Chain A
Amino acid sequence: MNIYKHELKVNLKSTIMWICVISGLASLLMLFYPILSKDMDSFMEILDNLPPAMKGLIGIAAANILTPLGYYGFAFLYTLLFGAIQSMNLGIGIVSKEEREKTADFLMTKPVTRVKILTAKLLSVLTIFIVTNIVYTIVTAAVVTSMADGDLDTGKFMLINLSLFLVQLIYFSIGLVISIAMKKIRSVLSISVGLVFMFFAISAFAVKSADDKLRFITPFQYFKTDTILAEGNYEMAYVITGTLIVIASIVTSYILYKRKDVHSV
């Protein structure tokens, strides 16, 4: 419990910052909806003239963008991007920061098993994600509802938002296992941003490509807003893949962490 509380305290500031960034950006993008919806024809024209890769990055079928929820699905792409960076940062940093800031000697010579240390850290991160997602959902629900004149498909909206939480879990667990497997992490941010943009680039490529298998490589494509809007559910194959990645990464992290040598300064 003490480690859990300590982690929450340590991560408080950055969590508040991330919540502001993610909720703020989504709200800001939503503010453009009324302007765009007034002049939808010319906007569609611009979209049509974009090169395919750009379309891929925008990541939503043009037709969907006409509705408030569809437009939100487009804005949500950036939520996912920044949410992924937040979670990747936590994944790579939560354990490695003890070694980098040289506090590992302090923590790990206390009478507590490494399994308990890792579990406490995981629970604190889970708490951070839950809080982030709740605040984000409250803010965006308010904004989107006001745009939609109260006419909002709550089920689909929640499905879209829940995918932020799920994608964060996936990126977090990938970051965690990488950080524990690596001997030393010098800069968390450069690695996490690098990795997230790599997945983001693959994502753009996956949209363009006819081959659906590419989508398995990048968690950004696991929960497509287009599909959610059209069918009102997730695609099972990707839900299973995501779950397997999380489980495998976390289990591997525990195994590696239990046997890892903590080197001196």
Chain B
Amino acid sequence: MVKNAIETNNLTKFYGKARGIENVTFSVEEGEIFGFIGPNGAGKSTTIRTLLSLIYPSSGSAKIFGMDCNKQAPEVLKRIGYLPSEVFYYDGMKVKDLLNYSASFYKKDCKKRIQELSERMNLDLNKKIDDLSFGNKKKVGIVQGLLHSPDLIILDEPTSGLDPLMQQTFFDLLEEENKRGAAVLMSSHILGEVQRLCNRVAIIKEGKIIKLEKISTLQEASYKRFKFEIQNEIPKDYFAIKGVNDLKVEGKTHSFIFKGDINTITTKLSNVRLTNLWADEPDLEEIFMHYYSKEV
């Protein structure tokens, strides 16, 4: 049986009366790369911060490697590497001082790994953190999160501020860590990066998980984007049938995303004279948008 790195059970957090997350239940298997997508304010950070015991759940529970996130926080945190969405470190400290301070919390020698990682990330250890650009601070965050070879890497909006080349290096690093056996939980509102890295995603909206799916299923589920030009006018709602979303009619051009039996569409199309036709795979973003705007 595959063991779970993370397992949450009806995790709920209210800030006073304001909703944080409600009944969030999901699990991340060991060795898996799991994505968490949703717009800002959906509850991604709240979930992550609860897992890290930075905040305490109103109800429900979360386990990491079989241990309770709150009650056994130090044990759990030993095995986690965390990169927050925005990195802030102590003023006046040099990069290497900060990294050594970070390493001092783990009972292992991290010197070699610090050296390796900073070389990979092209990070100058002797600079003062105050003098670093946003992107370079982010690199400090990455090294800081990986220097103790954690078994679970948690990333909150990891790529903001990194240039594409560094992003690539970072993703390579994550994939290496993953091959080594580390599970990864990353939150993002950029679907491309989730699509690239993750095995499974949870889509979170207004504090609730509305969909848990394998990336492959999400892309494979027969979603098609149709677009065509017609010769003669047809009623605007001609294609407004079940399974059709994002229907747009501009003059003689009709377009929509369709989920379901394609023959339904081809049958309807056979009654229409076309001048042009496009049919292709919608990207995850479109599928995602469509879930967001229509379901729940």
In the complex, the chain A residue whose C-beta lies closest to that of B104 is A2
Q: How far is the CA of A6 from the CA of B104 in the complex (A)?
A: 11
Q: How far is the CA of A262 from the CA of B54 in the complex (A)?
A: 5
Contact A111 B106 (CB under 8 A): yes
In the complex, the chain A residue whose C-beta lies closest to that of B90 is A103
Q: Which of A106-158 contact B (CB under 8 A)?
A: 106, 108-113
Cβ of B55 within 8 Å of any chain A Cβ, yes or no, is: yes
Cβ of B84 within 8 Å of any chain A Cβ, yes or no, is: yes
Contact A109 B54 (CB under 8 A): yes
Cβ of B144 within 8 Å of any chain A Cβ, yes or no, is: yes
- Residues of B in contact, count (CB < 8 Å): 29
Chain A window 1-16, contacts with chain B (Cβ cutoff 8 Å), 1 for yes, 0 for no: 0100010001000000
Cβ of B74 within 8 Å of any chain A Cβ, yes or no, is: yes
Cβ distance A110 to chain B, nearest Cβ, rounded Å: 4
Q: How far is the CA of A15 from the CA of B21 in the complex (A)?
A: 43
In the complex, the chain A residue whose C-beta lies closest to that of B84 is A105
Q: How far is the CA of A265 from the CA of B73 in the complex (A)?
A: 22
Contact B88 A109 (CB under 8 A): no
Cβ of B75 within 8 Å of any chain A Cβ, yes or no, is: yes
Cβ of B80 within 8 Å of any chain A Cβ, yes or no, is: yes
Across the A-B interface, how many residue pairs have beta carbons closer than 8 Å?
Answer: 63
Cβ distance B184 to chain A, nearest Cβ, rounded Å: 16
Cβ of B91 within 8 Å of any chain A Cβ, yes or no, is: yes
Residues of A within 8 A of B144 (CB): 106
In the complex, the chain A residue whose C-beta lies closest to that of B46 is A264
Chain A window 28-59, contacts with chain B (Cβ cutoff 8 Å), 1 for yes, 0 for no: 00000000000000000000000000000000
Residues of B within 8 A of A265 (CB): 85-86, 88
Contact B74 A112 (CB under 8 A): yes
Q: How far is the CA of A106 from the CA of B140 in the complex (A)?
A: 12
Cβ of B284 within 8 Å of any chain A Cβ, yes or no, is: no
Could you list 10 further interchain pairs (A-B, Cβ under 8 angstroms) beyond the known A6-B101, A262-B49?
A2-B104, A101-B91, A103-B90, A105-B54, A105-B84, A108-B53, A109-B80, A110-B102, A111-B78, A112-B105
Pull 7 A–B residue pairs with CB atoms less than 8 Å apart, ordered by A: A2-B104, A101-B90, A102-B88, A105-B54, A111-B74, A261-B15, A265-B85
User: Which B residues lie at the A interface, using CB under 8 A?
Assistant: 15, 45, 49, 52-56, 73-78, 80, 82, 84-86, 88-91, 101-102, 104-106, 144
Please name the 10 residue pairs, one residue from A and one from B, whose CB atoms are nearest each other, closest first.
Answer: A102-B88, A110-B105, A111-B78, A261-B55, A2-B104, A111-B77, A262-B54, A111-B74, A109-B82, A105-B84
